[in-house]
């Protein structure tokens, strides 16, 4: 042994990197706050007898079902919210007037503003995918936008 830790938590090897990235992208700050509150609310080092163990296991199964329903409801809400935002998106490639488009790349496009420009030569470099900010865009899209 080299003295270096191979895993930090028991479930480190259960998920691959692609799944972890997907979970991180689909999660929100509210999910993290909920998980923190749930973990902070747990009480540790309880002395349980046999009856308490059965009650705890039954309650744990109910909590899992409740958590699954809550996650499903949150996913539906997020999906509806995203769809509503996408329908109103003024920068969506399909909705931009074609006479405003200057150049089209594989991941982004260059266009002039639909309204009055701020300065001479004012252009917009817009990614094809819907993102909340350029910090959330993939590396290949960012390279093309550069």
Name the one residue in this structure whose structure tokens are 């995918």.
Answer: 129
Give backbone dihedrals phi and psi of 102, rounded to 5 degrees, phi first: -95, -45
Name residue 126's beta-bridge partners: 109
Tell me: the pLDDT tens digits for 97-118?
A: 899 999 999 999 999 988 888 8
Please give the Cα distance from 81 to 89 (Å, whole number).
12
| pLDDT score of 48 more than 60 | no
Please give the Cα distance from 14 to 45 (Å, whole number).
27
| pLDDT score of 31 more than 60 | yes
pLDDT for residue 46: 57
Name residue 124's beta-bridge partners: 111
Instruction: Provide Rg for the chain, Cα atoms.
Output: 24
Please give the Cα distance from 33 to 39 (Å, whole number).
10
Q: What is the pTM of this model?
A: 0.47
Q: 27 or 133: whose pLDDT is higher?
A: 133
| pLDDT score of 38 more than 80 | no
């Amino acid at each position: 042994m080299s003295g270096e830790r191979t895993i930090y938590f028991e479930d480190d090897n259960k998920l691959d990197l692609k799944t972890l990235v997907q979970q991180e992208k689909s999660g929100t700050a509210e999910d993290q706050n909920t998980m923190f509150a749930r973990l902070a609310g747990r009480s540790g080092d309880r002395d349980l007898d046999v009856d308490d163990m059965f009650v705890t296991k039954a309650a744990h199964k109910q909590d899992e079902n409740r958590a699954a329903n809550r996650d499903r409801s949150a996913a539906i809400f997020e999906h509806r919210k995203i769809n509503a935002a996408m329908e109103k998106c003024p920068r969506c490639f399909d909705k931009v007037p074609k006479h405003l488009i200057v150049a089209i790349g594989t991941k982004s496009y260059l266009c002039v503003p639909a309204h009055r420009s701020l300065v001479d030569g004012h252009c917009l470099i817009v990614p094809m995918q819907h993102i909340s900010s350029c910090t959330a865009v993939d590396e290949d899209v960012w390279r093309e936008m550069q």
